[in-house]
Amino acid sequence: MADSKLGKEAGQNIDAGKRSVEKKKSEKKKVLVTVLLLVAGLLAYLFVNNTKEDDSDVIYTKVQRGPLVINITEAGSVRARDQIIIKSEVEGRPAILYLVPEGTRVNKGDLLVELDTSDLVEKRVTQDITVQNNESGFISAKEELEIVTNQSQSDVELAELKYRFAKEDLEKYREGEYPNKLNDTQGSVTLAQEELERARDKYDWSKRLFEENYLSETELRSDELSWKRSELSLKTAESNLDLLERYTYKRDIAQLESDVRQAEMALERTKRKANSDIVSAQAKLRARELEYNRQKERLDKYDEQIEKAKIIAPNSGLVIYATSTQNRRWNQEPLAEGQQVYERQELIYLPIGDSFVAEIDVHETNLRKIYKGLPARIRVDALVGKVFSGVISQISPLPDAQRMWSNPDLKVYKTRINIENGGDVLKSGMNCQAEIIVEQHSDALYVPVQCVVQVDKKPVVWVKTSNGSEMREVEIGLDNNQFVHILGGLSEGEEVMLTPPLFSSVSDDTQQFLEDVEIPLKKESVEIVEQDKEDVPAENETPERLDKGIMKPRNPGESSHEAGETRRKPRVESPN
Nearest to 162 by CA among 273, 268, 251, 276: 268
Q: What is the mean pLDDT of residues 513-527?
A: 65
Nearest to 357 by CA among 438, 435, 415, 436: 415
- pLDDT tens digits, residue range 194-233? 777 787 777 777 777 777 777 777 777 777 787 777 777 8
Position 527 confidence tier, pLDDT thresholds 50, 70, 90: low
- pLDDT tens digits, residue range 399-425? 988 888 888 888 999 999 999 887 778
Angle (nearest 5°) at CA 59 between 53 and 63: 105
DSSP readout, 221-286? HHHHHHHHHHHHHHHHHHHHHHHIIIIIHHHHHHHHHHHHHHHHHHHHHHHHHHHHHHHHHHHHHH
Q: What is the mean pLDDT of residues 549-559?
A: 43
Q: What is the mean pLDDT of residues 369-376?
A: 93
- pLDDT tens digits, residue range 162-171? 999 998 988 8
What type of residue is 247? Y
Using CA atoms, how far apart are residues 234 and 250, in angstroms rounded to an integer? 23
pLDDT reading at 492 higher than 60: yes
> What pLDDT is recorded for position 543?
44
Using CA atoms, how far apart are residues 402 and 326, in angstroms rounded to an integer? 11
> What pLDDT is recorded for position 419?
92
Poorest-pLDDT segment among 41-50, 109-118, 419-428, 545-554 = 545-554
> pLDDT exceeding 90 applies to what percent of the chain?
38
The model's pTM is 0.50
Longest dimension (CA), the chain: 173
> What pLDDT is recorded for position 443?
92
Position 564 confidence tier, pLDDT thresholds 50, 70, 90: very low
> What pLDDT is recorded for position 146?
86
Q: What is the mean pLDDT of residues 115-128?
A: 92
Asked if 429 and 320 touch (Cβ cutoff 8 Å), the reply is yes
Using CA atoms, how far apart are residues 236 and 245, in angstroms rounded to an integer? 14
Most confident by average pLDDT, 54-68, 79-93, 232-246, 558-572? 79-93
> What pLDDT is recorded for position 16?
56
> What pLDDT is recorded for position 545?
44
Alpha helical stretches, state H, 436-548 = 522-535, 543-547
Mapped onto helix, strand or coil, the DSSP state of residue 509 is helix
Q: What is the mean pLDDT of residues 108-121?
A: 93
- pLDDT tens digits, residue range 419-450? 988 777 888 888 999 999 999 999 999 999 99
Mapped onto helix, strand or coil, the DSSP state of residue 152 is coil
What type of residue is 35? V
H/E stretch holding 113 reads: strand 111-115
CA torsion through residues 256, 258, 261, 266, sign = negative
> What pLDDT is recorded for position 5?
47
Name the average pLDDT for the chain: 80
Position 532 confidence tier, pLDDT thresholds 50, 70, 90: low
> pLDDT exceeding 70 applies to what percent of the chain?
77
Find out if CATH 2.40.30.170 is the number for domain 60-79+365-512.
Answer: yes
> What pLDDT is recorded for position 548?
43
pLDDT reading at 549 higher than 50: no
H/E stretch holding 106 reads: strand 105-106
Position 129 confidence tier, pLDDT thresholds 50, 70, 90: very high
Using CA atoms, how far apart are residues 524 and 154, in angstroms rounded to an integer? 84
Nearest to 276 by CA among 374, 104, 179, 151: 151
pLDDT reading at 544 higher than 80: no
Q: What is the mean pLDDT of residues 295-323?
A: 92
CA atoms within 13 A on the CB side of 233: 18
More confident residue, 564 or 59: 59
Phi and psi (nearest 5°) for 504?
Answer: -75, -20
> What pLDDT is recorded for position 214?
74
Using CA atoms, how far apart are residues 75 and 171, in angstroms rounded to an integer? 85
H/E stretch holding 56 reads: none
DSSP readout, 437-449? EEEEEEEEEEEEG
pLDDT reading at 523 higher than 50: yes
Which residues are CB-neighbours of 92 under 8 A, at least 6 positions away? 119, 342, 343
- Domain boundaries along the sequence of the chain: 1-51, 60-79+365-512, 83-112+312-352, 153-306, 522-568
Phi and psi (nearest 5°) for 517?
Answer: -125, 130
Looking at residue 167, what DSSP letter applies? H
The burial of 548, by beta-carbon neighbours within 10 Å (0-12 exposed, 13-18 middle, 19 or more buried), is given as: exposed
Using CA atoms, how far apart are residues 175 and 252, in angstroms rounded to an integer? 13
Phi and psi (nearest 5°) for 507?
Answer: -65, 145
SS3 sequence of 335-385? CCCCCECCCCCEEEEEECCCCEEEEEEEEHHHHHHCCCCCEEEEEECCCCC
Using CA atoms, how far apart are residues 535 and 426, in angstroms rounded to an integer? 73
> What pLDDT is recorded for position 62?
92
